Chains A and B, each alone.
Chain A
Amino acid sequence: MKEEQGNLNPDTWLKDHGDYLFRYALMRLRDKTAAEETVQETFLAALKGKDQFKGQASVRTWLVGILKHKIMDYFRKSSREFSFSELASLEDPSQDLFDQNGRWKAEPVPLRDDPEDVLEKKEFWKAFEACISSLPKRLAQIFALREFEGLRGEEICNLLGISSTNHLGVLMFRARAGLARCLETNWFGKKE
């Protein structure tokens, strides 16, 4: 149901936007409890601040805006508890890609469709979500901050307490290479 401008109806928020916001948070936080918490905080903050809702954007856009802040707060808090700099040796889906001479062990598989067509396919999106979910949690978080939230490298480093953009570059590479390899298995290389 579409709400009129300036006519907020908090009773229907959970029903109309709850699932959407939860999914939004989950794809970025990769943690169910954290996603639930940030969504809950979002609704509470929205309720408190509902007089500030100007009706220029849709209710959903407004709620997402609040949720984004809550997600950033979560990262800020959790980066104090978990050092991304210690990650180096922990999780690396890219570790088996190359031999000792820096050559591909298994060569990347070319797309079998035009990239534009690929993005129109339901199966691709299923594989995309499944592959993001199968990434190590911290890599998925970094990938989401960069590619979904569009943060710059320096911003991500500040947010998560990563020591250098070079270090972040290593992590971005692992995330992307891991995703590409996963999509190869689940999508690129598959015959129709």
Chain B
Amino acid sequence: MITCEEAARLISDSLDRKLPLRQRVALRMHLLMCKFCPTFRQQLILLRDAASRYREEAYTPP
């Protein structure tokens, strides 16, 4: 099993590139077993959504 630290790195990497199969599987397994890393993933996805909205709406957030 990979550690949370390794999983967190992979979660971030997966936002920038397609992970190789082994890493992808390792990450998915970790996410199924771990209570905390899915929350971290949710946070990073929110960050990305926020950033892309920030970009598109060009500084007219609500």
Q: List residues of A whose CB falls within 8 A of some B CB.
A: 20, 23-24, 64, 97-98, 101-104, 107-111, 115, 118-122, 124-125, 128, 143, 146-150, 153, 165, 168-170, 172-173, 176-177, 179-180, 183-184, 188
A125-B61, A148-B55 as given contacts; A169 in contact with B9, CB under 8 Å: yes
Instruction: Show 21 residue pairs from A and B whose CB-CB distance is below 8 angstroms, ordered by the A residue.
Output: A64-B58, A97-B5, A101-B3, A102-B3, A102-B5, A102-B6, A107-B36, A108-B43, A111-B42, A115-B49, A122-B61, A122-B62, A125-B62, A143-B51, A147-B48, A148-B54, A165-B17, A168-B16, A169-B9, A172-B15, A176-B15
Measured between beta carbons, the chain A residues less than 8 angstroms from B45 are 115
Q: A97, B59: Cβ atoms under 8 Å? A: no
Measured between beta carbons, the chain B residues less than 8 angstroms from A170 are 9
Q: Does B28 contact A (CB under 8 A)?
A: no
Measured between beta carbons, the chain B residues less than 8 angstroms from A165 are 16-17
Q: B62, A98: Cβ atoms under 8 Å? A: no
A24-B59, A122-B61, A169-B13 as given contacts; A183 in contact with B51, CB under 8 Å: no
Max count, chain B CB within 10 A of own CB: residue among A20, A122, A168, A180: A180
In the complex, the chain B residue whose C-beta lies closest to that of A171 is B12
Q: B47, A179: Cβ atoms under 8 Å? A: yes
In whole angstroms, how far apart are the Cα atoms of A128 and B59 in the complex? Answer: 12
Measured between beta carbons, the chain A residues less than 8 angstroms from B9 are 169-170, 173
**Residue total for B at the interface (Cβ-Cβ under 8 A):** 34
Max count, chain B CB within 10 A of own CB: residue among A64, A146, A170, A173: A173
Q: A107, B61: Cβ atoms under 8 Å? A: no
In whole angstroms, how far apart are the Cα atoms of A26 and B36 in the complex? Answer: 34
A176-B47, A180-B40, A183-B43 as given contacts; A119 in contact with B53, CB under 8 Å: yes
Q: B55, A176: Cβ atoms under 8 Å? A: no
Max count, chain B CB within 10 A of own CB: residue among A101, A104, A119, A184: A104
